[in-house]
Structure 1
Amino acid sequence: MSRDTSVSAAVTADLRAVIADAGITENTDLIARILATGVGLGLDGASRLDLKITTAALAEMRAAFRHFAPYAGVPKVTIFGSARTRPDDPVYRAASEVAAALAERGWMVVTGAGPGIMQAAAEGAGSERSLGVSIRLPFEERPNAVIAENSRNVAMKYFFTRKLMLVKESHGFVCVPGGFGTLDELFELLTLQQTGKAEPTPIVLLDRPGGTFWRGLERFADEQLAASGLISPDDFDRLLLTDSVEDAAAEITGFWRNYDSLRWVGDRLVLRLRAEPTDAEVARLNEQFGSLLTSGRIERSSALPAEADDEARAGMPRLVLRLAPVQVGSLHRLIRAVNALGSAPGGEPRAV
């Protein structure tokens, strides 16, 4: 008979007392759950290795959260690419130029802080507009000089915690040709978008002038994955494939032209917008996207009662719909249509 490894009410009360003694007054329920999980691991008899992984991962996440906290209100783009790309490669220049273009528009550029494309992006953005999330590897022990200049780097032991921070904080992504690591990061992004585990964001595949690197991947997706029914035929449509720095930067910023954010309230999806669509525009959206709904229609709305905790967006116009869960991967198409509405004013993403 297995022993009871649940955390007792008495221990939970003691943990809450520790939280109070520490002077913590916000989100105490979540802090208590973190502490109770730690106690639970001890009650489970977790191995020392498992406990070391847990401790290191939690410490890394704390360090990364603190690293990004001062820039919470600044839009960020993560640029992925190979550490092996040399400065004389045209794609190195492309990465530097797109980073510079976005930095000029007020964005910060997040990279893995290493050499190659990561250094190119940091050089383009400049040290004041660059943030790094490096990985401890035997052959990449220190961040590149641009990131190191203002000590804007957090070092990670684990790839999974690093990947979390490279994705979590950004409102757009640019991938340039790279190897296993770059493709891993790209497919992680696509999986998160396809499954609805992450909110829709713009993803650009930027190539060297006249390059065919990403077109090869597109053909594979069409001829093998989609043709075999392993992905939906339009899954690759969420990406922009381009060799134009200007088009890449415009794709990242244009995604936020009218769309601001989304929130699920029960089975209803709420899209927060910058400009209220007209009756005719809503009618067109229903004609185009009605097949994605489980019931009802796309309707205009003010803030729902459940959104009362988001005061910053209280006055924004909304579209409310009941989206079929299986269609969550198609949200990017609806957002693009919302951004194309005639009254959309343009803007930058707000802090999440």
Structure 2
Amino acid sequence: MKIVIASDSFKGSLNSLEVAKAIESGIKKVYPRADIIKFPIADGGEGTVQAFISSIGGELVTTNVTGPLGTKVTATYGILTDKKTAVIEMAAAAGITLVPQDQLNPLITTTYGVGELIRHALDRGCTEFIIGLGGSATNDGGAGLAQALGYKLLDADDQEIAFGGGSLQNLRRIDATNVDHRIFKANFIVASDVTNPLYGPNGATYIYGPQKGATPKMLNELDNGLKNFAKIIYRDLKKDIHNLPAAGAAGGLGGGLFAFVNATLKRGIDIIIEKANLKKYLHDADYVITGEGKIDSQTINGKVPVGVAKIAKEYNVPVIALAGYVDDKSFLTHEAGIDAIFSIINYPITVEQAMEPTTAKMFLTKNAEEIFRLIKLITDKHEDE
């Protein structure tokens, strides 16, 4: 029996490789000789680097960069086995987990460190970049990243604007004279699972700003800043990000990467499926196991389980999904190719307890075992007949 485990992380609990190993342990209790292929996947957010390294191979690189509050942080990115492809999670340098809760403030947080990671990878000889946009603490539209790459973002007095989304209203001119021109010889792909525009009611600020510390008073200022940012970019760089889908991802970094490094924006699940050639592993599989922390009506909008299911269905492979939380709209994913969905929670427990890594691993292993006990029971019965 050949089984492919292609799951997203259970965010805040287990990364995608840990999920796959836990599921494998359960299956092996029933089918000890099964051919199990673990294929960790991420959608651009937490775990993207680890998923690529685990699925494709490569090395982790660690360096010090400017964090979201302007102080130094230690950040890690990946370089794949081809030695030319860098995989960067913007959250490693500008993530919300790097900012204490009482210091969250998108008026001042910056993406400068993300630009420094790009420069570091360029110094290592990388010419291909995959950048995941989940988990940001910023709302600066990628202004900090641009500054780190040599763009000068100037105010009315021809002075460099300060870090943070609060300074974007002061931007009057972009000077590209001293840009690191290696970026124009490189290829950038941005991995994101959101399609929000840069600004407006459904844009970066109003949808995601509050979770980054934006008060109601800040929202209008930040949104106007992004609108001004887009206007100056259009005039000086001839790049239109006003209505670009996914420009609002990661506080506008999606739009900034499009404008400053000519990035292509794609769904994260599509990138890893293509880059790691998932089809090669699925075409002759007996079962595919996928999952994520929560399966609900939003799962059909480009999330990992449905992305995996669509590929599996090209080869008529049954797809089973596991999740910590399964809501009453999860049935919508059946139409998208997921054949059966199971919550791994076996008894009443708090969310905090369920997300504790040891507990989550135990639940995944136990439920995978029981699912394959049932499969074995049915399979053995048919063989006897």
Is this a same-fold pair by TM over 0.5? no
Bigger helix fraction: 1
In the superposition, the TM-score normalised over structure 2's length comes to 0.29
Higher RCO, Cα 8 Å, sep 6+? 2
In the superposition, the TM-score normalised over structure 1's length comes to 0.31
